[in-house]
Structure 1
């Protein structure tokens, strides 16, 4: 058995049986080995950023890692933006990056680069397999470390891949997530029952779990503390029967206002918040200076169990306040962001997965879907735009029986538009609404926010997408995805309803200009 065969067999035995790939010459023995290990599903993407973003979306929904197959340092570099998002979302993911054969490294071939250094910018674990005998054990460790630290990158020299003498390795045991100590729970219970203004900031496993949210709502009901969610949780369980959780706002002024007067900030599956950017005359974070930050659980720890224990101690018998089922009326007339949000809320199917990269076009979207049917919501965790289309692909591969709805800004769609080709190839059950406002609207806001406002034509031109206008209907159809354009709220509702009723991918372009 050669190194590639042993690697793939080991990955599959460890539960990693999907690989999003964009291979090159150095990875051809991995590609050939796919026929020897049919349990590994390989999904071809046309750009590495689609492969890495899809692996992120897959792992968020499957709860276990996917693999990527990337070509040398440049291929890894092409995938870095969405690996950054995966790292910020603490997503378990295994990168397999091909490299030159060991004898070829010293020749400084044109595609030679420092793969280890590139991988280290986004990976919690990096390993280079030095022989066929090592590769399976390295793969088993990569999966274990991905489950523990997030992203693990295994560098596979071409000759290690093709040489014989390898054998599969058994999966490694992974410790369960740590539980909070009873003394810590007791200390936090004193904080939340102190009567002082207290906020519990929810993130990670707490937001992904109905049980975690309900435990937090019990604490709030019994003690009067406020609950606030992270600004961009990786995965959020939402819908009727769950608490109405508001996220910490993105704009710094609004985030600071949301936490104003807070004396105690308790972290449950989250880290202390900071602003995305520095702004003139503002602090770098929204936490008041006289506020004490307490850690109930950090990401990677069992926040759900910690909150359930806290609820038993601090709020025994308390009943959580939850939302009753409510959906908006279908709007009519002019199509704007709020009308689009109302259409999504009115037509949202049961058990859907919503992938949100609407950015500035998302006004009203969370509000009008919050009390609807139960669904999961995936957010852009790291701020590197272009994750929405790939994440939806990964979510659809992970959950083929669930409808996936992507709400996608137009400018960021172009970063990874080739994901649509993979949608068609896989016949993924994804309805994508592209918010076509013809601009990088988020940068128009930021231009003013950072104190660099300009009325000049040259500045405006850098933020405008209408010269020429992007024809998303033709782009989607050219990659095999049925597409249509909606100019009114009624047209959008009709087209989204049609897309949701048919299997396979569809694109609906919502004109929001």
Structure 2
């Protein structure tokens, strides 16, 4: 057995049975070894950012890592943006990076680079395989490291000669560390704060955004009057009719400041203290109001759901969570607008859907439109590196083949990873992509104003616009093998969205809306 075979056998035995890949010469023995381990499903992505984003989406839904196979340092570099998002999502991902043969590195070949330095920027786990006989054990360690709470990116560097070398040995899975428990005094202190009569915000993140955490949070809020908020960009938020609705902390600093204003205590439960995404002239970076004290119930990686449940039992005995009622917006009519497209989604969203949301500025009204829709999962842009929406949806669809997946995708971000559509077509995934096509980098127009750069002149305006020429997403999708339509009215979007959900396989809808700014 060669090193690549031992690696894949070990991954499969540890429950890593999907490998998203964009391989090169140094990974050919890994590719060949896929035929020796039938449990491992290889999924080809045409760009490394598709591979890493899909691995992130898979892990968010499956709760276990997929593997991502990349080619040398440049391949890892190409996939770094969506690995950044995975790091911020705290999802487990095992990245296998092929490298030059050990004896070839001294020649400084054109693709030679410092892979460990690139991987180290993710603040995860990094190991270089040193011997063929140890590759299996290294793979087992990588899976365990990725699964260590709260989940992280584990990068294994595999030199080509260790991959093809004989003497590989599969290794038994290594049990990952369970989430660290929260000490009882921390729960008791939070209970005292909630009973103290001063205004409290409870900010939840990570696993607290799933059903059990939401129920406990709702009980606490209902019994004490504490304001419950979820982190701005949760990796996975369960929501919809029958589940408690927890408002997310706003992206815009002025709106987040308004949400937090007047509160004397901020309790963090699986979340970090809120700060602005960027620095703005004359504005503070810290969003915590002056005079508001920060208290940590559970750090990311601790058992936040157990802590919230224990806290609810202390301060809200006998109090039930408050579910959101089933309530859909009526189907709108007329030309598509910034506001009404979201009502179409809310009116027609199917039961048990997964939404990958990268609608950005176009999606401001989406939470309200879908709050009372059937229960669904929301996957958000955790790290802010755009080009996540379609790859994450692809991984989610492979992780949950029986569930409808909907991508809500801004047009500018779509172009970063548009080749994802080819992978969706090849895998015949039930993913419906709605491109919100306002022909502009609308978020940058907003940020242009917020940083005080005055009004854009003609040259600046050209850098913030996606027209001319207009981008034809219908023909782009069809070129990748995905059926596509264009909608300019609410009626057209409703009809096309409903049909796309009914038909098997991937579909794209080019929803043309006017820009916000």
Tell me, yes or no, if the aligned pair for 1:123 and 1:153 is still in contact at 8 Å: no
Instruction: Please give the secondary structure, in 2, of the residue aligned with 1:96.
Output: strand
Matches within 5 A, 1:232-247: 232-247=233-248
2:22·2:45 contact (CA, 8 Å) conserved in 1?
yes
Name the structure 2 match of 1:483: 484
1:10 positional shift = 0.3
Deviations 1:347-405 (A, max 9, x none): 00000000100001113111110111010000000000000010000000000100000
What corresponds to 1:278 in structure 2?
279
* TM-score, normalised with respect to structure 2: 0.98
User: Does 2:128 align with 1:128?
Assistant: yes
- Structure 1 CA distance, aligned partners of 2:337 and 2:455? 26
Q: Is the 8 A contact 2:191 2:314 kept in 1?
A: yes
- Bigger drift between 80-89 and 290-299 goes to 290-299
Corresponding residue of 2:225: 224
For 1:398 and 1:49, the matched residues in 2 are separated by: 18
Instruction: Provide the aligned length of Structure 1 versus Structure 2.
Output: 512
| Alignment correspondent of 1:45 | 45
Q: Which residue of 2 aligns with 1:192?
A: 194
- SS, match of residue 102 in structure 1: coil
Measure the CA separation in 1 of the matches of 2:177 and 2:463.
Answer: 50
What residue in structure 2 maps to residue 215 of structure 1? 216
**1:408-427, Cα deviation, whole Å (9 max, x unpaired):** 00000000000000010000
Whole-Å separation in 1 of the counterparts to 2:227 and 2:295: 15
| Partner Cα separation in structure 2 for residue 20 and residue 88 of structure 1 | 20
Q: Give a deviation string over 1:123-143, Cα, whole Å, max 9, x none.
A: 410000011011111100000
In structure 2, what is the equivalent of residue 504 of structure 1?
505
Which runs of at least 4 in structure 1 moved beyond 4 Å after TM superposition? none
1:75-115 Cα distance to aligned partner (Å, 9 max, x none): 00000000000000101000000000000000000000000
RMSD: 0.8
How many angstroms does 1:322 deviate by? 1.9
The farther-off stretch of 295-304 and 137-146 is 295-304
Give the gaps of 5 or more residues in structure 2.
Answer: none
Query: What CA distance in whole angstroms lies between the structure 2 residues aligned with 1:475 and 1:458?
Result: 28
Kindly indicate whether residue 59 of structure 2 is the aligned counterpart of residue 59 of structure 1: yes
Asked if 1:10 is matched to 2:1, the reply is no
Q: How far does residue 300 in structure 1 lie from its aligned partner after superposition?
A: 1.3
- Deviation string, structure 1 residues 231-255 (Cα, Å, up to 9, x no partner): 1111000011122211111111111
Corresponding residue for residue 456 of structure 1: 457
Q: Secondary structure at the match of 2:368?
A: helix
Is 1:105–2:84 an aligned residue pair?
Answer: no
Aligned counterpart in structure 2 of residue 203 of structure 1, from 186, 205, 213 = 205
- 1:107-506 paired onto structure 2 within 5 Å: 107-148=107-148, 149-207=151-209, 209-506=210-507
Q: Give the Cα–Cα distance (whole angstroms) in 2 for the partners of residues 483 and 280 of structure 1.
A: 43
Q: What's 1:72 paired with?
A: 72
2:198·2:264 contact (CA, 8 Å) conserved in 1?
yes
CA distance in 2, matches of 1:507, 1:118: 34
492-501 vs 336-345, which moves further: 336-345
User: In 2, Cα distance between the equivalents of 1:507 and 1:315?
Assistant: 46
User: For 1:34, what is the secondary structure of its paired residue?
Assistant: helix
Specify the alignment match of 1:24 in structure 2: 24
Q: Which sections of structure 1, spanning at least 5 residues, go unmatched?
A: none
Aligned partners of 1:351, 1:46: CA distance in 2, in Å?
29
Report deviation, 1:301.
Answer: 1.3
Spell out, residue by residue over 1:142-191, the C-alpha distance to the aligned partner (whole angstroms, 9 max, x if none): 00000114100000000000000111000011121112111111111001
Q: Give the conservation status (yes or no) of the 8 Å contact 1:129–1:156.
A: yes
Asked if 2 retains the 8 angstrom alpha-carbon contact of 1:147 and 1:174, the reply is yes
Contact 2:500–2:507 (CA under 8 A) maintained in structure 1: yes
Cα pair 2:134 2:169 within 8 Å, conserved: no
Q: CA deviation at 1:494?
A: 0.4
Give CA-to-partner distance per residue, 1:36-93, whole Å, 9 cap, x none: 0111000000000000000000000000001000000000000000000000010100
